[in-house]
Amino acid sequence: MEKLGRILRIGPTDNTSNERTPRENLRIIPPAARDSFLPYSRVQPGIRMGENDLTRLAPQMPRAEGDAIEMSGQILDDIGQPLRHALVEIWNANKYGKYAHDLDGYDAPLDPNFSGLGRTLTDEEGRYKFWTIDPGCYLARPDINRWRPKHIHLSIRGGASRLITQMYFKDAEHNDTDPMRIVMAEDFHLNIGKKYETPDIDVERGFKFDIVIRGKNSTFFE
């Protein structure tokens, strides 16, 4: 019998997931074609100063509303090697759960001092650091009153590694009913930032989010 790949799960109560998730099994890639499925990106955009501080639009500008938080961590491949000089992009909603994105129609205030966009490059040890505003949760399905718990989006790319994911917060409101959290099941803990104190820094608290990503040295399990 023909060997097939995974069936992708549909996030419960997620309309887009229902509309866009393939119903058939994924197909196994023939060994001769495996390498061709692994993109390699040389893109290394210029990063402006202060782009990893989302709490102000520019260094001299007023601070955005809400609690300023630090988010930091290390990006490793699955054998523990740091991912150096990789592009890390984050985006998150403001204190009220509203994105500055022009497609966000959620009925909550915009903060004129918060764009919600930041990016940086990892250092020699694969470390990154951002300051942002503790995001609000938002009502994703008003028809059934289903909310998205607070979260910070991340995209990582560098060399042959890339990942799009989200950092969540421990025991946050609405975590349990979130479709992607339900799909992640017992692995959800891997996507939770670990809180730490930031006594001498100009932010309320920190969250450590270490990330493990498949890199060029990956092997296949079958």
Partner 1 sequence: MNDTINPTNRLPLTNEDTVGPYYPISYDHDDGMDLTKSTIGQQFGAKGDKIILRGRYLDKDGNGAHGALIEFWQANAQGVFRTEDTEASPEIDPHFDGYTRHRTVTGGFQLKTIKSGTQLGRAPNITLTLFSDGISRLVTQVFFENEVSNETDPVLLSLPQDKREKLIARLVGEDDDNVPIYDIEIILAGKGETPFFDDFLALGWRD
Over the window 47 to 66, marking each residue x when it contacts partner 1 by CB under 8 A and - when it does not, the resulting string is --------------------
Q: What is the largest CA-CA distance in the chain?
A: 65
- Is residue 168 flagged as an active site residue? no
DSSP assignment of 167-178, as one string?
EEETT-TTGGG-
- Output 46-53 pairs: Cβ under 8 A, ≥24 positions apart: 47/119, 47/120, 47/121, 51/118, 51/119, 51/120, 52/118, 52/119, 52/120, 52/128, 52/129, 52/130, 52/131, 53/118, 53/130, 53/131
Please tell me the distance from the alpha carbon of residue 84 to that of residue 32, in angstroms, as a whole number: 29
Determine, following the binding rule CB under 8 A, whether residue 1 of this chain makes contact with partner 1. Answer: no
Size of the residue set binding partner 1 (CB under 8 A): 72
- Is residue 96 flagged as an active site residue? no
- Is residue 34 flagged as an active site residue? no
Binding partner 1 (rule: CB under 8 A), the pick from 12, 50, 104, 121 is: 104
Determine, following the binding rule CB under 8 A, whether residue 139 of this chain makes contact with partner 1. Answer: no
Nearer to partner 1, 60 or 220 (CB): 220
Nearer to partner 1, 56 or 204 (CB): 56
Binding partner 1 (rule: CB under 8 A), the pick from 24, 124, 171, 200 is: 24
Over the window 106 to 135, marking each residue x when it contacts partner 1 by CB under 8 A and - when it does not, the resulting string is ----------xx-x----------------
Which residues ranging from 166 to 185 are in contact with partner 1 (CB under 8 A)? 166, 180, 184
- Is residue 189 flagged as an active site residue? no
Q: How far is the CB of 181 from partner 1 (least distance, A)?
A: 9
Determine, following the binding rule CB under 8 A, whether residue 36 of this chain makes contact with partner 1. Answer: yes
Q: Is the dihedral of CA 134, 138, 140, 146 positive or negative?
A: positive
Nearest to 205 by CA among 137, 132, 136: 132
Catalytic positions:
99, 138, 148, 151, 153
